[in-house]
Structure 1
Amino acid sequence: MSHARPHRIDHALRRLLSLTVILLATLNAGTIRAADKPSEPLERILETARAFLTDSLNTDASVETRIEIGQLDSRLRLARCARAPSSELAPGARTGGNGTVNVRCSEPVAWSIFVPFRVERYTEVVTVARPLSRQQVIQPADVRLKRMETSQLARGYFQELAPIIGLEARRTLVPEQVLIDAHVTQRTLVERGQQVTLFSARPGLTVRMKGEALEAGTVGQRIRVRNKSSKRIVEGYVEPSGAIRTAF
């Protein structure tokens, strides 16, 4: 009786050791099988993101574009995608400045990963060359082109000088300031109360008369004018000459 207990302990220990060996063998086999599965090359993920950005930018020859794709953790292991992964911009991201591209795979195992990027675009933009006061008419010497990175610029910047000349500054502007459409407006050609010429034209006939502007107007703007002869109030469009074109 005194020797039965150690025998049972030895038998139980041998069984435990056997189970441990079997368990370790199973785990090792699973690890080997997982390691043997082909994984998605990180280079293909990064190239997918780069190709998507390149196709999405559609920049013209005047814009120099630089694309920097971020790095992925070299320890990352994703199942090999059966076909080329798809990609799209992450929600809220823009194709300028910093952002992320969502690269995805649907089969045989679905996965998704966000790839960081930075896009810089360099082009010539219109900047202020010398101080401009509010309502000052912009002359050629007041502005110039400067090559800048545009991803952080406000929307509405100009890339050519010609459309700016003759416009009127809405506010005080300082040298080196990037000019945007919110800074300028069409020059007021007609002031309220100004005596103007009204005219109506059709092939072979033009009728002119005197009038009084009832409101200020810029080129192309529709304003109300009082006909000096008939006292009628009519509407017409401000011409570059300052005359008001009305319909017959």
Structure 2
Amino acid sequence: MLRKRVTQPGMLCYWQVIFLLAMLAVTALTKVQADDDALLQQVHQFLYQETQALGEEVVIDLRPPSPHLPKCIQPEPFLPNANQAPLGRVSVGVRCGENGRQVRYLQAQIDVIGSYVVAARDIERGTLITSNMLSERGGNLGDLSAQALTAEEDIVGKITQRPIRSGSAFLAHYLQAPDLVERGQRVTVVAQGSAFRVSREGEALENGALGEQVRVRFGSREIMTARVTDRGVLVVDF
């Protein structure tokens, strides 16, 4: 007996349903991939702008976001630690949505080939660093500690807090700016604004290095906080 399968009008067979579902899944996956690619491109461009001044060559390896996250609308990349150079393994924040209320984080490996400063000889603790104590070395800045100081201007004029061996990089906590103001010292405090500049003498209540805030006493009761700008000189900006 000859049998023939007949599909009723308006109905789909099993394989047609499977095919349609597969096509919908592929379409959705393609859209997610396109959204992720656009986000990665924007974050990559942001990281390149943040690192291009650090060295001669920059290599950025950015991990894609989780596929379970929704699309990031109006992405705004940022660095959670803006005071630290983006080198080595870094976390990159991205604000999404209206007013950046949604925040997600991507992981990146950033390698920068450039030059950095090392000790030209052994340096004892308590030494005031001068330029002739330094030498330059080239390499991957991403291999350095996050606390490493790579520029000469960030090192010269500071005092070592521990011995530093020849060839070693300078870490921020190895150095300290020298005090320009000492506790009990008579100092000059300059108050300045857009249309005035006056100065008066006071007594420093604590030690302070360049740029630090120090409390100063005037007379027996008045105390003011001022910023150290030179040896024995502090400024209050209005």
TM score, norm. by length of structure 2: 0.52
Amino acid at match of 1:60: Q
Equivalent positions of 1:180-199 (< 5 A) are 180-199=171-190
Match of 1:244 among 212, 234, 237: 234
Q: Is the 8 A contact 2:52 2:58 kept in 1?
A: no
Specify every segment of 5 or more residues in structure 2 that has no aligned partner in the other structure, as ranges: 1-40, 67-86, 90-108
Distance 2:201 2:161 in 1: 31
Structure 1 residues 208 and 131, CA gap change in structure 2 (3 angstroms): same
Q: What is the RMSD computed on CA atoms of the aligned residues?
A: 3.7
Tell whether 2:64 aligns with 1:88: yes
Number of residue pairs matched by the alignment:
155
The alpha carbon displacement at 1:209 in A equals: 2.4
- Segments of 5+ residues of structure 1 without an aligned counterpart are 1-51, 68-86, 98-117
Residues in 2 aligned to 1:202 and 1:237: alpha-carbon distance in whole angstroms: 14
Is residue 150 of structure 2 the alignment partner of residue 163 of structure 1? Answer: no
Instruction: Choose from 120, 132, 140 the match for 1:149.
Output: 140
SS in 2 for 1:144: strand
Distance 1:154 1:209, change over 3 A: same
CA 1:96/1:240 → structure 2, altered by over 3 Å: closer, same or farther? Answer: same
Higher strand share: 2
The whole-number CA distance in structure 2 between the counterparts of 1:225 and 1:206 is 18
Question: 3-state DSSP class of the match of 1:162?
Answer: helix
| Paired residue secondary structure (2:152) | coil
**CA shift digits 1:115-142 (9 cap, x unpaired):** xxx9965321110112333332211111
Q: Distance in 2 between matches of 1:244 and 1:124?
A: 36
Alpha-carbon distance in structure 2 between the residues aligned to 1:204 and 1:119? 47
TM-score, with structure 1 as normaliser? 0.50
**Structure 1's 141 and 205: CA in aligned 2 closer, same or farther, altered over 3 A?**
same
Cα contact 1:66–1:121 (8 A) shared by 2: yes
Distance change in 2, residues 1:60/1:214 (3 Å): same
- State the identity %: 26
Match of 1:246, SS state, is: strand
Greater Rg by CA: 1
Q: Pairwise mapping of residues 6-155 of structure 1 onto structure 2 (< 5 A)? A: 58=48, 60=52, 62-64=55-57, 88=64, 121-155=112-146
For residue 244 of structure 1, what is the amino acid of its counterpart?
Answer: L
